Amino acid sequence: MNSSDLLTPEIKKELVEFAQSLVRTKSLSGQEEAVIKLIEKKMIDLGYDEVTIDSMGNILGRIGSGEKSILFDSHVDTVEVKDESKWDFPPFSGDIVDGRLHGRGSVDMKSAVAASIYAGAIAKKMGFTSGKTVYVSCTVFEEDCDGENLKHLFKELDLKPGYVVICEPSDNVITLGHKGKAQVSIKTHGVSAHGSAPEKGVNAIYEMAEIIQRVDKANLELMRKGEMRGTLVMSRISSVSASLNAVPSECEVYLDRRIIPGETEDDIRREMDQLIKDKNASWEVGTLHRKSWTGMEITYEPFHLAWKIDLSHELSKACIAAYQENFGSEPNQYDFWDFSTNAVTPVSMGIPTIGFGPGEYKLAHMRNESCKVDQILDACSFYARVIEKI
């Protein structure tokens, strides 16, 4: 039992062609206008009751107006391609070869965009939306600012769905949560002096040297904590000096700390305090500033805790029932993402949230990114079944 139970041959063809068209439409973070307009037309053509683009540039389609509500979210922005000549197939061709859709965004996550949009229309046609409201959101600037898009969408449209399905790639495995993250900036402070008289200054880079060693040691300790463990990576270093002939007055490093269930905000703050202990240094959350395709200024605070939904929850049970009907057997495994997603917003609002999407997430952002076409079709019918079961 699979997608053929709900998807006619004509719908399958349309769905795959739409996924191809999404891949062919470039949509780097902050440059998603063309793909959002493409989605808007498709939602209207498929008979969505309402289609709205908010001031940040996210698009929301609605079907039905019942009391019980569920939202399926996918982001439409992708990372850049800097090695196009080395791809086996052009990264924006949307070619289908050997049963796989090839191209940037095929995994992360335009296949899920297509599957979720068609799932809403199929659920409506099958009568699954009776007494329910189904939302499908296609959000922008997730790659840099996960969750900020849904935060804005929910606030602007005064929306709080009852349930959320995050359609990030999971190889069509029900995913129960993901790690949190804290992106942190540490700065050391020195005293500038001419390079010919360094003894008159204090070198901020030397002040940072021990902190760098502490970061490495802290990560090694985290790695020894078992299968479920946090990580700490120093991803950038820079300095400020009056010239190349001067003692640096400031040095900055940027840290990426992945957080596991059970770790608290206080735990992370204490850890950062220890990294700079007894040094002329300070730390803060590494706030990011971006601009959406509509011109809206985005301010993002990357500090989110891990989350996990229980298998006994109503949403989990609905997904398990949908999986069984869609694939003919109960799930034999569940997943937990290492990476962060838009789920951080609904989870922070107390909205039950779960994950499921086509594509192997280890192929995301990689050369020769590709997704199995059968997984796209199966994800679509699974989403429709979730609407039926919820």
**Burial readout 21-52 (b: 16 or more C-beta within 10 A, e: otherwise):** ebbbbbbbbbebbebbebbbebbeebebeebb
Closest to 14 (Cα-Cα) out of 45, 35, 48: 45
- Measured CA to CA, the distance from residue 283 to residue 186 in angstroms comes to 4
- Measured CA to CA, the distance from residue 139 to residue 142 in angstroms comes to 7
- Measured CA to CA, the distance from residue 11 to residue 25 in angstroms comes to 21
- Measured CA to CA, the distance from residue 50 to residue 34 in angstroms comes to 20
Looking at 64-73, 225-234, 340-349, which range is the least confident one? 225-234
Closest to 122 (Cα-Cα) out of 387, 308, 371, 333: 387
pLDDT for 4: 54
Torsion sign across C-alpha atoms 100, 106, 109, 113: negative
Strands 50-53 and 100-102: what pairing? unpaired
Tokens of 41: 């037309």
Q: Report whether pLDDT(1) > 50.
A: no
Closest to 175 (Cα-Cα) out of 354, 344, 34: 354
% of the chain beyond a pLDDT of 90? 97
Query: What pTM value is reported for the model?
Result: 0.93
Query: What would the pLDDT profile of 168-193 be if each residue is shown by its tens digit?
Result: 999 999 999 999 999 999 999 999 99
Q: Report whether pLDDT(3) > 80.
A: no
Query: What would the pLDDT profile of 245-298 be if each residue is shown by its tens digit?
Result: 999 999 999 999 999 999 999 999 999 999 999 999 999 999 999 999 999 999
Query: What would the pLDDT profile of 72-117 be if each residue is shown by its tens digit?
Result: 999 999 999 999 999 999 999 999 999 999 999 999 999 999 999 9
147 neighbors 353 (Cβ within 8 angstroms): no
Instruction: Calculate the average pLDDT of the chain.
Output: 96
Q: Report whether pLDDT(313) > 50.
A: yes
Query: Would you call 77 a catalytic residue per the annotation?
Result: yes
Exactly one of 14, 54, 73, 77 is catalytic; name it: 77
* Rounded mean pLDDT, 368-382: 98
Closest to 376 (Cα-Cα) out of 156, 65, 167: 167
pLDDT band, very low/low/confident/very high, at 5 (cuts 50, 70, 90): confident
Exactly one of 14, 54, 142, 378 is catalytic; name it: 142
- Measured CA to CA, the distance from residue 373 to residue 103 in angstroms comes to 13
Own/partner contacts of 63-67, CB < 8 Å, gap of 24 or more, are 63/120, 63/121, 63/123, 63/124, 63/129, 63/133, 63/134, 63/136, 64/124, 64/129, 64/130, 64/131, 64/132, 64/133, 64/134, 65/133, 66/129, 66/130, 66/131, 66/132, 66/133, 67/131, 67/132, 67/133
pLDDT for 225: 85
Beta carbons within 8 Å of 58's beta carbon, 6+ residues apart: 36, 137, 138, 139, 140, 149, 150, 152, 153
Q: Report whether pLDDT(2) > 70.
A: no
- 373-389 vs 111-126: helix crossing angle, rounded to 10: 40
Radius of gyration of the chain (CA): 23
234 neighbors 274 (Cβ within 8 angstroms): no
| Residue bearing tokens 């900020």 | 148
pLDDT for 227: 81
